[in-house]
Structure 1
Amino acid sequence: MVIPGIDTGRPGGGSGAPRGERAAGTPGGGRGPAKLNPADKKQLKQHPVSLRRIAALFAPHKGTIAVVVLLISASSVVNLAQPFLVRGVIDNALPQQDIRLLAVLTASMVAVAAVTAVIGVVQTWLATKMGQRVMHTLRVNLFTHLQAQSLGFFTRTRGGEVQSRLTHDISGMQSVVTTTATGVASNLTTAVATAVAMVALSPGLSLISLVVLPPAIWLSRRVAKIRREVTDERQRELAALHTQVEEGLSVSGVRLAKTLGTGPRDAERFRNRSEKLVGLELRSQLAGRWRMATMQMVFAAIPAVIYLAAGFPATSGGMTIGTLVAFTGLQGAIFRPVMGLLNIGVQWVTALAFFSRIFEYLDLVPGIRPAAKPVRLDPATVRGEVRFEGVRFAYDDGAEVLHGIDLTLPAGTSTAVVGSTGSGKSTLASLLPRLNDATAGTVLIDGVDVREIAPGDLARIVGVVSQETYLIHASVRENLLLADPDATDEQLWSALAAARMADTVGALPEGLDTLVGARGHRFSGGEQQRLAIARTILRNPPVLVLDEATSALDNTTEAQVQAALERLAAGRTTLTIAHRLSTVENADQVVVLDAGRIVERGAPAELRAGDGPYARLAAHSAGLEDAAPAGGALQPGH
């Protein structure tokens, strides 16, 4: 499955600031024009967005949207009363020494400010709440949908890309909803209402404003564009710096630097990037200062031109001082909303790009789909007979890995699968817990196709212990409770004892509350494996898959883990992907895979005594054991 439109090199693709920061605050905020990102246009071309689909997200909030639009319009209209109140104060109340009129007008000015402030608070609360609810729905739906994807999706996709879509893109979308959308509505109503008020005050000066505004807007946008380019370059360098910090100062990164001796090189690279940021920050600040200077000149030039025009009889039209002051205030107020409206096109593309990236993942077809009407199996009553009938499996590229596998695992017995690297052992094991689904044929537990079993029941029926142990960055207790949230401390200690980890955990000062560290690095590899075994013991599954669970361990640690695994496997139907042939001697049956086909099966002693593939693997393994140093890892069964 190829996922179009994934561009992990863009800002927001796992490091750096969220993409929404480019658009946030632009409408009417005076921060200059937004710049269209080519990645946004490319995203929309590869994955177009239906406006009807976006509208469906906001359909439950139609009432809130209507109220927000009314509040924005009301705020813009009410706020326009200020210039007329100022005109009344200057032209009437002060010259006539009318104290009562002066009190009414000044009180009205305060009331208008208070009303618009309250309206602004209510509008922000409603818009933010609506945006957060939409974002919450999308975030939960996307997380749930991604959980349903097969392992193949995650092996092909960078983890940072998934995190970026789930956090940065959805947050950017929320910013578009609450800031850009309300900003456009506010700018539009403010610009229209202000223009009407200007014409009502002085049609002549309004025409002059049409001549003044375009060059002022052009100059401001030009300077802001220069700063935007510098800021974008700074963001890219800052994202690279953050990536180096994230990778270089993690447990694995520090270990790699120390073992390869790359510390000085990494420090020099960090120093160079930091030095470059100094220059970019300086350029950005200077560009920002130039932009502020330009804005100051613009705001100084506009009233100057108005005052000049008001001084000539041909253009003043007998204008009063109050009218002039009121008109100048309106002239300054129309500049920002007009600037914001000029960015609507870019904001629209940016908004659609956010939705496109989110919908692109929501449109992914899960490789593993739950049954429409699942069969419910009680793990407590499952016997555990497993059958593979005519099983074939091919990856997305079409290469078939398994070819017509017929295999039965009687309930309560142990089956070991051995074979050379690439023979399909791990792929076969992945079909039982539905990490992958068979391309053809069926995998059955007690006669029920695993694809028909409810996912929750299957997870309780089939337990998996793999080579790649994963412990969350939490306490030992929290890691164990993942298997059984209701387990008591007594049950936790019992599981640890069965996994031969009770003494190790008990010797720690904080016991069960000891943090395991990032990816379990607080413990050794063997201890991590035994914690995983204890977690599986708590789950108490009737069917067990051991996928090369000891392949990365030394001989001594492997012996300890193997003993824990044997205790775990007792009485369960067990499918073991063998690492060393010595670990499968107690299996009830051994299956030898070669190029995705079963080429031999039988009891270990019986196969060893013959002259087949297993006997040759055993001879090869014995030769490697004789040649390997103590504690060396042998890998005939990969």
Structure 2
Amino acid sequence: MSTDLTSEGGTKTAPKRKPRQLSRIARLFTPYRGRLALMLLIIAITSAFTAVSPFLLQRILDEAIPDGNVKLLTWLTAATIAVTLAGAVGGVLQNWIANIVGQRVMHDLRVSVYGHLSRQSLAFFTRTRTGEVQSRINNDIGGVDSVVTNTVGNIVGDGTTLIAAVAAMLLLDWRLALMCLATIPFFIWIARSVGKQRRALRARRQEQLADVTSLIEESMSVSGILLGKTLGRGPAQVERFTSESNRLADLEVNAQLAGRWRFASIQVFFGVIPALVYFAAGLGSASGSTLVSLGTLVAFTTVQVRMFRPLMSLMGVGVQLQTSLALFGRIFGYLDLPVDITEKPEPKTLTGVRGEVRFEDVGFSYAENARTLREVDLTVPPGTTMALVGATGSGKTTLGYLVARLYDATEGRVAIDGVDVRDLSFASLADTVGVVSQETHLFHASIAENLRFAKPEATDGELEAAARAARIHDHIASLPEGYDTIVGERGYRFSGGEKQRLAIARMILRNPPVLVLDEATSALDNRTEQEVQAALDALSSGRTTIAIAHRLSTIRDADQIVVLDKGVVAERGTHDELVALGGRYADLLAQDAIEEWADEAAVTR
């Protein structure tokens, strides 16, 4: 199912939001008003030339041919050809400018959505499917491409052509013009009703497309494929995808066919009306009263056909615009999401960082009436290590992430060198606090590019020094392509320990004075854990370190160990002090020893 970010394009909310959406869509084009003005000028000139063509035809049929005036015929024919060429050139220029403007607007939309989402807190991404985010950026924005690119040009061009055609028809014969124009309100009503129907279908279609995108992202990733194959769920996943794809296909068919019969009726009318004009003129001629001349009649029907083409186009644009409001609603829904972690207007910058971290009466809640942390008062002196231990769900990771401001404390404050982290600029905080977690993320790029993500200007020598400190250089050097080796998506070409050491090398390059280690060795075997722990020790040397520990053997030498129990500090002291206390830490230590013994026994068997 899709997220709770429902589309603004729903049928019930559309009447209230439509004017606001249209004004927001119009503002997207404001930066390009100069180019749009040039395009409008070209459209006006082209439409003026096009409006002249029927009158040239009228004179050819009523004067030049009957009188045998070759000179006049030559000039009128040449003028007709010139007008046609001018219209073709104007059309090319119009489409060129429209596409440039449209693609710039599309670029602005994509960047705006991506930039806004990048400012969201970690909490947003933990509750939102990755596929849903991808669908908004790719499918929704991609879905409005034709509207953004062609709408302005089509509305102005077709509107100008329509006005010119109506004026020409009235000048040629006002009686026949009124007969034709009387049908237009009926056509507009049909277009509006079809647009509403397609808009609702488009909203449902985009939600289903987001579901399909999420399913692909989840099941076709390396992790998803591994899970499906090892649990024998591959056929079931294919069946699930087939079902979701069938629903999408049905919605696509319904969206494409919605209103087709009504539009077909309009096309029938457009074909019938010229015949009725000829019939009316023929009746007048049969009764002995000439309603119009032959040249006027041919010119009128020519203009009439030219009027119907832009009219149909405008109705199509209207339907497309109404349909696209569902997509714009989803796009604007993301742009309107509040950013819960923001930078102050005049943020502070830390200089000469000592690295003291203080938690002052800190409380935190993910939701109302569900406090994860309560009344936490702790101090981590500069250059020392504080280990956080406790049962799963005790609040260890949350407390560590408050230092990096991945979340904001809902009570009290977290301070570095006496400055509230909420008062710091994002850049200063990122330079000050580094995080290494057990979920190592590596890009599908070379080892060097992954390392330089932390420090783009790093030299090859700095990369090698960081890799040596992280105990990973020898392994990299043994690879055929060395630091140019492609790591594969999410680093699946490397073992867990190798990925962790690459992450550590990356953090060594970053060189932050404060470090948060989030259970960085919990998923590793004992031997690999020892190798990674040696790299972590090198990384932690001389830094203020907050180590969130799963295996207590890794934090015995910490300057202080804090035991959290249901979000409250239950115990605090050194390893020896807490063992002597015989409380919660001693229980965790005994449990940890049993787990390690079980792991070793399993390996021995």
Shift of 1:540: 1.1
* Partner of residue 230, structure 2: 259
Question: Residues 162-211 of structure 1, C-alpha deviation per residue, up to 9 Å, x if partnerless?
Answer: 33333444445564343223322333322222122112222333344356
Name the counterpart of 1:550.
521
Query: Is structure 2 residue 367 aligned with structure 1 residue 368?
Result: no
Alignment correspondent of 1:516: 487
- Judge conservation of contact 1:394–1:401 (CA < 8 Å) in 2: yes
Deviation at 1:275, TM superposition (A): 8.5
Q: Which residue of 1 aligns with 2:570?
A: 599
| 1:326 aligned residue | 299
- Contact 1:219/1:294 (CA < 8 Å) preserved in 2? no
* C-alpha distance in 1 between matches for 2:566 and 2:214: 41
Aligned equivalents of 1:254 and 1:555: distance in 2? Answer: 27
Structure 1: unaligned runs, 5 residues or longer: 11-36, 633-638
Give the counterpart of 1:572 among 536, 543, 549: 543
Structure 1 residue matching 2:334: 3-state secondary structure: helix
- The amino acid of 1:535's aligned partner reads R
| Residues 626-637 of structure 1: pairs in structure 2 closer than 5 A | 626-630=597-601
| Superposed displacement of residue 536, structure 1 | 0.4
Amino acid at match of 1:317: T
Q: Residues 386 and 408 of structure 1 are in contact (CA less than 8 Å); yes or no, is this contact kept in structure 2? A: yes
Change (3 A) 1:631 1:120: farther
Please say which of residues 330-339 and 425-434 is displaced more in the overlay. Answer: 330-339
The match for 1:183 is 154
Match of 1:535 in 2: 506
Deviates most, 531-540 or 398-407: 398-407
Deviation at 1:377, TM superposition (A): 2.0
Do structure 1's residue 611 and structure 2's residue 582 form an aligned pair?
Answer: yes
Q: Deviations over 1:496-541 (max 9, x none)?
A: 1222221222222222111111111121222211111110011111
Q: Which of 79, 88, 111 is 2:50 aligned to?
A: 79
Distance in 2 (alpha carbons) for counterparts of 1:307 and 1:278: 45
Asked if residue 460 in structure 1 is aligned to residue 459 in structure 2, the reply is no
Whether the 8 Å CA contact 2:364–2:371 is kept in 1: the answer is yes
Alignment partner, residue 467 of structure 2 = 496
- Please point out which of 141, 153, 160 is paired with 2:124: 153
- Written as runs of structure 1 = structure 2, the 5 A alignment for 1:148-547 is 148-172=119-143, 175-210=146-181, 246-267=217-238, 300-313=271-284, 317-342=290-315, 346=319, 349-350=322-323, 352-378=325-351, 381-547=352-518
Kindly indicate whether residue 124 of structure 2 is the aligned counterpart of residue 125 of structure 1: no
Give the structure-2-normalised TM-score.
0.86
3-state secondary structure, aligned to 1:383:
coil
Measured against aligned partners, the alpha-carbon deviations of 1:126-162 in whole angstroms (never above 9, x if no partner) come to 3333344444444334333322221111222222333
What percentage of residue pairs aligned between the two structures are identical? 52
Q: What one-letter code is carried by the residue in structure 1 that aligns with 2:457?
A: D
SS of match in other structure, 1:416: strand
Q: Deviations over 1:50-75 (max 9, x none)?
A: 76655554444444444433433333
Deviation per CA, 1:575-603: give whole Å up to 9, x if none: 10011111111111111111211121111
Q: Distance in 1 between matches of 2:596 and 2:147?
A: 64
Shift of 1:444: 1.8
Other structure's SS at 1:80 match: helix
Indicate conservation of the 8 Å contact 2:122/2:407, yes or no.
yes
With 132-141 and 213-222 compared, the bigger mean Cα shift is at 213-222
**Distance change (3 Å), C-alpha of 1:132 and 1:192:** same
- Take 2:130 and 2:578, find their aligned partners in 1: how far apart are those partners? 44
CA distance in structure 2 between the partners assigned to 1:286 and 1:141 by the alignment: 33
SS at match of 1:49: helix
Change beyond 3 A, Cα 1:544–1:630: farther
Q: Give the letter for the 2:405 counterpart.
A: R
Residue correspondences, number: 600
Whole-Å separation in 2 of the counterparts to 1:134 and 1:371: 29
* Match of residue 13 from structure 1: none
Which amino acid is 2:579 matched to?
R
In the aligned structure 2, how far is the partner of 1:224 from the partner of 1:125? 28
Is residue 6 from structure 1 mapped to residue 1 from structure 2 by the alignment? no
C-alpha RMSD of the superposition: 3.9
Q: 1:544 to 1:121 in 2, by over 3 A?
A: same
Which secondary structure state, in structure 2, belongs to the residue aligned with residue 483 of structure 1?
coil
Distance 1:291 1:141 in 2: 38
Alpha-carbon distance, 1:356 to partner: 4.2
After superposition, the Cα gap between the structure-2 partners of 1:219 and 1:420, relative to the gap in structure 1 and judged at 3 Å, is: closer
